[in-house]
Amino acid sequence: MPHRVRVNEVVTRDGFQSEPAFIPTDTKIELINALARLGLHKIEVTSFVSPRAIPNLRDAEEVMSAITRDTDTTYVALVPNEKGCTRALELAVDEINLVMSVSNSHNLANMRMSCEQSLQQFARIAEMTSGTPMRLNGSLATAFGCPFEGPQAEDRVLSVIDAYLERGLHSITLADTTGMAVPTQVYDLCQAVHTRWPELDVTLHFHNTRGLGLSNVLAALAAGMDQFDASLGGLGGCPFAPGATGNICTEDLVHMLHEMDLDTGVDLNALLQQSQRLGVIVDHALPGQVVQAGPRSLTRPLPESVQQLMQDGRP
């Protein structure tokens, strides 16, 4: 297992995109600024999509230009097309996240494009951004299974990575868009990727749809992976994927890693405070569990009745 693990926060993009009520722009900015001080590696700030497609992120430019950019944090925006890329370049975003599904049918449902069309677009975007400091990350959605087609062959996933790298993308994310990954599969795929591209910068993006999010992190760690996306409070999901619930929860992930003596550089207590604040912002219950139960290291006072028993020398 790695000693140091990088944690990327996606709540203001992957979390907020499916919230029914609009999150005020100032609230987004405050949250991002607060999160940037907590030791997270990347923050996926927003998405340069059509405001009609995702109304909650219609303030993408405003948010991206108003946040205070911490030099130790990589600020990311999701970009679905060349227009989005132009917007990201104007705002000097550190990194853009390009998404294509490994399965063609899911890419059609999600992006309204065939995989071939997505790859052509990635090549054009790589050309547009060539010579700029902006990094390109390529996400492989449905890398662990497609809700329409089922599990995806390992060869197919590897060939998509090949196609990304050929088109000039710098790093990749293996994304479990609809929570279909299982630990043995995660271990095998991560090993295959790591063996073929030992120097490649890889992120794992898990959803906890079927309760396996952190188990899949564990399997990925065992295969040498060291970078994970997560969403504060566990907020999120893919609005175009039937049955998809939330991303893995950032504070639950950090809590697990720290308790396994893996360093993240993240301030867990401050993260838990932000998660409580997030519950107020979205005004509904969140799936995160450590914020409810408290970290395991937090012992509780003995009940008075037990103190009494012990003082009495009984039993």
Q: Which residues bind its own copies (CB under 8 A)?
A: 105, 108-109, 112-114, 117, 145-150, 179-180, 182-185, 208-212, 214-215, 217-219, 242-245, 249, 252, 255-256, 259-261, 288-290, 292-297, 299-303, 305-306, 309-310, 315
In the complex, minimum distance from the CB of residue 315 to its own copies, in angstroms, rounded to a whole number: 5
| Residue whose CB is less far from its own copies, 127 or 188 | 188
Rounded least distance, CB 11 to its own copies, Å: 16
DSSP annotation string for 233-269: GG----TTSTT--PBPBHHHHHHHHHHTT-B----HH
Separation of alpha carbons 168 and 212, rounded Å: 33
| SS3 at position 170 | coil
Least distance in Å: CB of 139 to its own copies?
20
What's the rounded Cα separation, in Å, for the pair 268 and 59? 29
The Cα 293–Cα 297 span in angstroms is 11
**Cis ω before 55 (30° cut-off from 0):** no
Q: Does residue 217 contact residue 5 with C-beta atoms inside 8 Å?
A: no
Taking the CA atoms of 177, 49, 34 and 21 in sequence, report the sign of the dihedral they define: negative
Nearer to its own copies, 79 or 290 (CB): 290
d(CA 110, CA 229): 20
Q: Running DSSP on this structure, what letter comes out for residue 55?
A: G
CB closer to its own copies out of 73 and 287: 287
Min dist CB 249 to its own copies, Å, is 7
Cβ of residue 72: shortest distance to its own copies, in angstroms? 28
In the set 146, 190, 238, 249, the catalytic residue is: 238
Pick the closest to residue 171 from 104, 269, 239, 98 (CA basis).
Answer: 98
Alpha carbon 146 to chain centroid distance?
18
Residue 249 annotated among the catalytic residues of the structure: no
Residue 166 tokens read as 């050929």
Q: Are 91 and 134 in contact (CB under 8 A)?
A: no
Least distance between its own copies and beta carbon 89 (Å)? 26
- CB-CB neighbours of 182 under 10 Å: 16
Return the active site residues.
Answer: 238
